[in-house]
């Protein structure tokens, strides 16, 4: 099964991708995580992406389509994947359709996360991640100590805030989503792939809604 999680920044796509990947035997492919890793490693892609990401804009279609085209060829992705944060533009959606046709794989569903805009800002401003294990926390809803325990950082997270999680950049990211990514809702609805969920609920309730959306016909 190959799926896309679609929704605005802070909607919970990354959180839910991690919660369902094991249960469904899929691998999470997050363009945001891949780009942040490239920035940290100082690769040529990272050097190009850094300023754009910090401003809240979108990295070029050419770069992200190239990253995903390479990544879905890897062995673990052959079992099926969860795209988190990709596609974000019409050109990326067309690029995804072309690459899936090229490897003879379908796109099975696109799950749209609907969340109240005020809650998005609260979730994003409260988000922290551990510099050592990468696990995502939230000072309001999932503080350190929240199960499951972390074997990697031994539940002693060194919390950092993403450089693009400040108030000014968040507003820009939400505006960019509305302008460039929201049109994909109709794009996927027209193809019969869209499943909408109310993602304005606790973690477990949202997971259940995603799983139900994926099994609904
Ligand atoms: P990316 O990393 O993809 O960021 P995003 O789409 O803005 O999404 P977020 O990571 O902010 O939110 P999320 O929905 O994953 O929420 P999360 O689960 O963490 O992209 C970053 C940047 O990279 C982009 O701005 C762009 O520059 C570039 N980029 C990436 N992909 C690109 C592409 N395809 N094309 C071009 N550029 C690209 O949850 C948020 C917080 O809320 C967490 O703290 C979490 O604990 C908490 N939370 C989640 N769910 C719940 C819940 N149900 N109840 C309570 N708290 C919750």
Q: Find out whether the beta carbon of 206 lies less than 6 Å from any atom of ligand 1.
A: yes
Q: Cα dihedral sign for 141, 145, 150, 152?
A: positive
Q: Mind listing the pLDDT tens digit for each residue in 9-49?
A: 999 999 999 999 988 999 999 999 999 999 999 999 999 99
Ligand 1 atom nearest residue 11's Cα: 14
Mean pLDDT check: name the lowest of 65-79, 108-122, 131-145: 131-145
pLDDT digits (tens, 9 = 90+) for 75-101: 999 999 999 999 999 999 999 999 999
CA of 7 to the centre of ligand 1 (A): 9
Strands (E), the chain: 3-6, 27-30, 81-84, 109-114, 127-130, 136-138, 159-160, 194-198
Task: Give the position, in ligand 1's atom list, of the atom nearest the Cα of 17.
Answer: 18
Model-level pTM? Answer: 0.96
Q: Does the beta carbon of 37 lie inside 6 Å of ligand 1? A: no
- Positions annotated as catalytic residues are 13, 88, 127, 162, 173
Nearest CA to ligand 1 atom 42: 123
14 Cβ below 6 A of ligand 1: yes
pLDDT, position 151 = 76
């Amino acid at each position: 099964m190959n799926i896309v999680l679609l929704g605005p920044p802070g909607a919970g796509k990354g959180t839910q991708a991690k919660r369902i990947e094991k249960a469904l035997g899929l691998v999470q492919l997050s363009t945001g995580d891949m780009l942040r890793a490239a920035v940290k490693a100082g690769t040529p892609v990272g050097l190009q992406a850094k300023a754009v990401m910090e401003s809240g804009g979108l990295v070029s279609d050419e770069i992200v389509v190239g990253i995903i085209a390479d990544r879905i060829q890897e062995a673990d992705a052959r079992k099926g994947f969860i795209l988190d944060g990709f596609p974000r533009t019409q050109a990326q959606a067309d690029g995804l359709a072309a690459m899936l046709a090229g490897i003879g794989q379908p796109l099975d569903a696109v799950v749209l996360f609907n969340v109240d805009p005020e809650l998005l800002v609260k979730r994003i401003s409260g988000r922290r991640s551990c510099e050592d294990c990468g696990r995502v926390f939230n000072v309001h809803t999932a503080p350190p100590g929240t199960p499951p325990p972390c074997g990697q950082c031994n539940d002693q997270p060194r919390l950092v805030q993403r450089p693009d999680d400040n108030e000014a950049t968040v507003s820009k990211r939400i505006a960019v989503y509305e302008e460039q990514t929201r049109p994909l809702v109709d794009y996927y609805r027209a193809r019969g792939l869209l499943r909408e969920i109310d993602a304005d609920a606790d973690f477990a309730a949202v997971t259940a809604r995603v799983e139900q959306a994926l099994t609904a016909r």
